[in-house]
Copies of this chain bind each other. A is one copy, B any other.
Amino acid sequence: MQEQAIIKSSISKQIAEQLRNAIVSGRFKSGERLPTEDELATRYGVSRATVREALKRLAAQNLVRSRRGPAGGNFVNQPTHAELAESLSGAATLLVGLGALDIEEIVEARRTLQGGCLKLAVVNASQEQIQDVETALQLQKDPALSDEAFCDADVAFHRGLVDASNNGMVRFVMYSIIEALVPITNMVVSYVKDRREIIAFHEGLLLALQQRNEEGLESALDALLDYLMERFSVAQAQRKQHAS
């Protein structure tokens, strides 16, 4: 006898909750196919439209994927690291966009948490991971890159750096900070046309990682953050002037 309580939220939301619980608790395993929408509809005694709204809620959380066709359906999605990073970065950019986080806070957070992360990296980084970082840096060096592509490459570089920590949770967490920093990099890159300095910092980081030199890594990253903050305030001032 479960107390189903008097529920005030919409049916589609409740169904989304139930399905979500079923997935998280393992009643539907990863990769498995959910019942068809029609069947869910009859099972819950609602229309397909309602079921679909529930499924779309889950899809927004990358919990289900859907495919059409006879072998299609709604599948429990094992979120890839990329998708996780995407949803995290979504949350982070949202916070920045809504002004719930300010730039100083984000930079401070990065400074605060990077130490431990880098410590892990120098211990755990595999040769392959170091190679990945190097590759990312090479890509970033291409002068033909648009500003946007340069920033993407920048994100890839920093992600590579935290990937080297070889810890999924740390990665999960640091990705969101990296993403939150994107607006800064963006502004600096587009106002300060010179990319060489950023590249130089990155080369320093890579070198220190290759030498497994923790202190070098920390000071290089600190210097990069100093540089970004300084240029950022300049760019911000310029933009303010333009606006006036």
Contact = CB atoms under 8 A, between A and B. Distances in A.
Interface of A: 12-13, 16, 23-26, 30, 49, 52-54, 56-61, 63, 78-79, 84, 87-88, 90-95, 97-98, 100-101, 105-106, 108-109, 111-117, 119-120, 165, 167-170, 172-173, 176-177, 180
Nearest to A52: B53
B172 A94 contact: no
Interface of A: prevailing SS: helix
B173 A177 contact: yes
Nearest to A115: B116
A3 B240 CA distance: 31
Given A84-B95, A116-B115, A101 B57 contact: no
22 contacts: A24-B98, A25-B97, A30-B98, A57-B57, A63-B94, A78-B98, A79-B94, A79-B95, A88-B91, A105-B167, A105-B168, A108-B167, A108-B170, A109-B170, A111-B116, A112-B120, A113-B117, A113-B170, A114-B116, A115-B115, A169-B177, A173-B177
B94 A24 contact: yes
A24 B97 contact: yes
A24 B53 CA distance: 23
Nearest to A61: B60
A170 B52 CA distance: 36
A124 B115 CA distance: 19
B79 A87 contact: no
Nearest to A59: B57
Contacts of A57: 56-57, 59-60
Contacts of A49: 49
Nearest to A76: B98
Nearest to A90: B61
